Amino acid sequence: MSTLLSLVALGLTLFPNSLAVPAAANARIERRATSSILTSEINSILSSAASVPSSDASAASSAYNAILTAVEDASPTASPTSIPQATAIVSSAIAPAASPGSFYDSVVQLIANSFLPSNLGQSLSGLVNGLGVIGPNAEVNVNTRSPSTTIYPKKQSTDAPYSLTEAQLRQVIYIPSGFTYGQKPPAILVPGTGNTGYETFSANYIPLLTGVSYADPVWLNIPGHLLGDAQVNAEYVAYAINYISGISNNQNVSVLAWSQGNLDTQWALKYWPSTRSVVSDFVSFSADFHGTEVADIVCPYFPQLPCDPSVIQQEYNSNFVSRLRENGGDSAYVPTTSIYSATDEIVEPQSGTGASAYLNDARNVGVTNSEIQIVCSAQPAGGVYDHAGVLFNALGYALAVDALTHPGPGQPSRLNLGTVCQEVSAPGLSLTQVLETEGALVVSAGFLLAYEPKLFKEPALMAYATS
């Protein structure tokens, strides 16, 4: 509980009452005088914890709690005045660094420059105090409509078994009051590691898709902020696909996912084949279909120190990733639009055909793999975008809309790239929304540190995936 108390203290530090507006920054990144001291302190905490005998969970817990306490020293002291300035700040904050604590140093720099979600304090307070968060960030929602056909315990005989009850699976789906139940095409938003669906998408694709004719968004607020076993996380996705279609007059759905949400979606499509026939489009942002070679930046010194289960599973060639990619899992199951950035600091490699986000198309369902720096080379939309930045990138948005409004995946060839590539962010998004989108990484960092139990080895593969 001490780690959680530190986490809520961080939220209250950043949001003591209503949000105060920090002084506008000049065209520079705000680096607090204590930044280098803080980085040194974090590295010292980590190295000290790693020096104790392996499997000492208490020492690791104390270390993560100490890092949270250190991060509490950060507070917003400046704010960018334009979206191009904001992206320049992010570019500086994510610059490669050799120290094990560099990810958390980047988080401190984002906090100092007001890259924060507006609901952070409420989310953390609810977690610590055991309060049931209500509204669009709730993990427990009342969805009383029954699907038109049976989807639980299985929709078809070849589907994998669920380890969760139907009530558990259904309650994570947040359905806005304006949802049309099939009058418009449903779109399911799946979050990334350390986030709920609302935390990932509230400042980008929820407002961008609300009120349009070609999409009707709902989102998944998965317990544990997607830090538990990714195989279980995928169960929520599989159920949501069939459930939302089943209460929407059996209309096909689209899935838009960020980060780990893509792995979970691909796993669901592989092991719950009933989902494939009801998914028209899978739009993927910053995917790690092959895991990442730098998973240790969020869990330094693993396996000497324990790590969150789903982070271990996202290591490059982990058992989870290797099993996913076997027997055609490295190819799309449904029309897929994959959008990613070569400057992603969380997922590497992320360029060329070796990009972790790159999917093959052995089934000829239709796949486009769009590296923004190639499609919009030397133009604003092809600049430096980090892991979260792809969510507000103008090319990513244009490809998502193209996918949702045409059969098959989004095609760069159908876009007016001369216009699209000149935009830094999706049309209609404000500076505040860009800052809040980047703030998803701040949320992730807090919950990555707070999540328990952490593990010293990867979760075992489910029986259905080994038979």
Distances in Å between the Cα of 455 and the Cα atoms of 92, 234, 334 are 32, 19, 33
Single-letter code of the amino acid located at 124: L
DSSP states of 197-263: HHHHHTTTHHHHHTT-SS-EEEEE--GGGG-S-HHHHHHHHHHHHHHHHHTTTT--EEEEEETHHHH
CA 258/CA 286 separation, integer angstroms: 6
**Beta bridge partners of residue 79, listed in sequence order:** 24
**Marked catalytic residue, from 216, 288, 344, 386:** 344
Strand order through the sheet with 173-174? 173-174, 216-220, 186-190, 253-258, 279-285, 336-340, 367-371
Q: How many CB atoms lie within 10 A of CB 149?
A: 11
Contacts 24+ apart (CB under 8 A), 377-381: 379/421, 379/422, 380/84, 380/421, 380/422, 380/423, 380/424, 381/420, 381/421, 381/422, 381/423, 381/424
Catalytic one among 248, 259, 280, 351? Answer: 259
Which residue in 216, 245, 310, 387 is the catalytic one?
387
**CA-to-CA distance for 151 and 243, rounded, in angstroms?**
7
35-50 and 57-71 helices, crossing angle to 10°: 180
- State yes or no: is 344 an active-site residue: yes
In terms of C-beta density within 10 A (0-12 exposed, 13-18 middle, 19 or more buried), how is residue 36 classed?
exposed
* CB count in 10 Å sphere of residue 290: 25
Q: What is the Cα–Cα distance from 275 to 243, expressed in whole angstroms? A: 10
Catalytically annotated residues: 259, 344, 387
